[in-house]
Structure 1
């Protein structure tokens, strides 16, 4: 299960408390605080703390313009301008701290985003739970024939059943041996920091992850994309819902300009101009490589 009884009790205790504050608060985020949103079979995402809101972004942006400019341009318009022109520092004024439970192989992919503060559950100090990510049958897929780091068609029939059996049996066997190695009954017991090496990459870990909004949106642009690996994408999609309730103006601009927009090279932009002028543009006369042309066609057809 995603939450232990102790964690559920802690959440209830935290949500039962309230305090007056002079700092900016967001009703949508106050409703999310401490709640665990399930992801995958045993994982979750929950908001521990946040700082700032849409107004904080505008406040930071306007500091260089002086008092009184708010009447010239409203907050949403300013945020869209900042997003459209790739300004970053105003978005860095907002921060979010999450508690995330996730499989180790997802964590290793996630940690590639090095612009956050992370504190992970210590398997040197504590004993990991017997919880493993086992994909649903529809997410068991063959290697893609066109993408070396992607999936192809889902496995079927006996092959899918055999793979699931391997994943379940190997995970349990590795954990059995882990428990046996660290046990001190009738033996010295192997140190936890060594015994953990035998655990599979689908075991669950947990961490606190704190990041500013600029770098969070960069994470979401890559990981909530349809081409991202499913197991990290579902976390990003859950986080998108949270961010939309936190900074709705910023998230709408992000959806328009980052998730829903496209970046064109100078060559691709020239091809668009030629097309608008009535010229027939092909891969051969486009000046693009085969890969660039394929991606350009995909942008135009979306």
Structure 2
């Protein structure tokens, strides 16, 4: 999984001038030239009491590469998000596929809402790698055969599996990103437990790493208040 922050207008100051317009009107623009750290308490108050709209006046655009099954979960997040994804109708898709490494826990135990994942055996890891690689190879060979025979890309792509890598631009604001992180990461400070699939969690962690650098006070308040989006 790779995540690149390609464009942004996002700082802690954006939260402050948006919040202070309710009491200061046009004078809230003075916040643009002030140190946001002096208003750390206001950001925490807004987060704690869930005054969410001041966290929407910013924008971040990420370029993300991940398997198709990750994007299918990702696209469930619609409020405050915009997406444009690579299209198999308009370009030939490259043979880049996902195979879990040894760090990916393979065995699920328990019931939904209570389950956990544990380490797989070396035999299971070998089976997963070999089976996926064989399946990917056969499906991509079928894809190439159809393209060579003149079959349209949008038809031939149907043979490709969800382990195929795709790429997309995803644009969001801090409020929508916090909602995404609250659901797609498992974190010790989270007030509400979440059980994300590991692969989308890996993407979320990389996005959070970039966001933390842009809005450190907002990120700190997010963690302090249980990682619940305001």
Q: With structure 1 as the length reference, what TM-score do the two structures score?
A: 0.66
Alignment: residue pair count: 213
Contact 1:140 1:160 survives alignment (8 Å) = no
1:235 has 2:203 as partner: yes
TM-fit CA distance, 1:151: 5.0
Stretches of structure 1 that go unaligned for 5 or more consecutive residues are 1-42, 262-302
Unaligned runs of 5+ in 2: 188-194
1:150–1:229: 8 Å Cα contact kept in structure 2? no
Alpha-carbon offset, residue 180 of structure 1: 1.0
Aligned partner of 1:56 in structure 2 is 14
Per the TM alignment, residue 138 of structure 1 is displaced from its structure 2 partner at its CA by: 3.7
**CA distances 1:26-66 after superposition (whole Å, capped 9, x unpaired):** xxxxxxxxxxxxxxxxx311111111311111000000111
Q: For residues 3-27 of structure 1, what are the alpha-carbon distances to aligned partners after superposition, in whole Å with 9 as ceiling and x for unaligned?
A: xxxxxxxxxxxxxxxxxxxxxxxxx
Query: In the TM superposition, what is the alpha-carbon distance from 1:149 to its structure 2 partner?
Result: 9.2
Deviation at 1:88, TM superposition (A): 1.0
- The structure number with the bigger radius of gyration is 1
RMSD: 2.2
C-alpha contact (below 8 Å) 2:63/2:167 kept by paired residues: yes
Higher relative contact order (CA 8 A, sep 6+): 2
Within the alignment, does 1:196 sit opposite 2:157 as a pair?
yes
* Contact 1:102–1:205 (Cα < 8 Å) also in 2: yes
- 1:144 matched to 2:96: no
Distance in 1 (alpha carbons) for counterparts of 2:144 and 2:116: 34
Asked whether 1:86 is paired with 2:50, we answer: yes
The normalised TM-score by structure 2 is 0.86
SS of residue paired to 1:57: helix
In structure 1, the residue matched to 2:183 is 222
Q: 2:57 and 2:18 mapped to 1: Cα distance?
A: 7
The CA deviation at 1:144 is: 2.3
Specify the SS of the correspondent of 1:65: helix
Q: 1:248 aligns with which of 196, 210, 216?
A: 216
C-alpha distance 151-199 of structure 1, shift in aligned 2 (>3 A):
farther
